[in-house]
Amino acid sequence: MSARRKVTVVGAGNVGATCAQVLATRDYADIVLVDIKEGLPQGKALDINQMGAVLGYEPSCTGSNTYEETAGSDVVVITAGLPRSPGMSRDDLVQTNEKIVGSVTEQVVAQSPDAILIIVSNPLDAMCHVAKSVSGRPKERVFGMAGILDTARFSTFISWETSASVKDVQAMVLGGHGDQMVPVVSATTVGGIALRKLVADEKIQAMVERTAKGGGELVNLMGTSAWYAPGAAAAQMVDSIMLDEKRVLPCTAYLEGEYGIDGLYMGVPCKLGPGGIEEIVELDLSDDEREALDKSAEAVREVVGVLSS
């Protein structure tokens, strides 16, 4: 028996497999990769284990088509669901993925009643509502990965525009995942200097636009959704929880009055630790940013309204 703790990733597609791969290289937990497709999670797990011989981590990845192997997981990352194809709206995805995410959540919680659930399946904000409702878990233990990915895209564009290391870019993207996201330009710095002092407003606006359409840009280029950055972003959340890092990261959290929004999953800065979301950080937003966040909340409510329950 392994004495290491356990992380389960459901969905051995590109995002799930990348998340499992990044977590395996971190070398602190056993990873279980679950998928309904026979042979797929077993094959990817075997490949990740064999990569350990090259990169020097201890192989500990198991592939499975059932949920018994996942029993006693500390954290479960749910990436299962159909990806968005070109020309398909996020709303089209809602009803299909609601069934998939609901069923996965039920099976996961039956095996690991104490696990923290991180939702990656799209449409993200709506799927968090599904997982929370099906699992009956408290809100601080069911949340979604979107803001880290959007922030990573924004930070990348800022790094290119300013010719500065991406390590010195501090950015934060709030709101719904998709066209309604709200990059908080007022809280964005490069090496501690406000972004507005370094880059002209129209250039910032162009980067904001590109970030908002970031997922679509990749779908148009590849014919499918991104996976390297989303997989790594989900793994970063797992790290902060499992290693008690207390990172403040933008996560899709259930709000009950914070930022003036009630009863809705939205992207906000959260302190992540072993308890899941240990604190929701309320930034001082400019009037424009607050207005954009309210608009984002309306858009998310519409998508959530498509849910059957």
Catalytic residue set: 177
Residue 301 CB burial class (10 angstroms; 0-12, 13-18, ≥19): middle
Cα dist from 75 to 87, 142, 143, 154, 205, whole Å? 33, 10, 11, 27, 37
Helices marked H in the chain: 14-26, 40-55, 90-111, 124-135, 147-162, 195-198, 201-212, 214-222, 228-242, 287-304
CB atoms within 10 A of CB 286: 13
Q: Fill in the DSSP letter of residue 263.
A: E
The residues, any chain, with a CB within 8 Å of residue 59's CB and separated by 6 or more, are 24, 48, 49, 50, 52, 53
DSSP characters over 229-260 = HHHHHHHHHHHHHHTT--EEEEEEEEEESGGG
Q: Is 93 helix (H, G, I), strand (E, B) or coil?
A: helix
Nearest alpha carbon to residue 101 among 74, 82, 75, 73 = 82
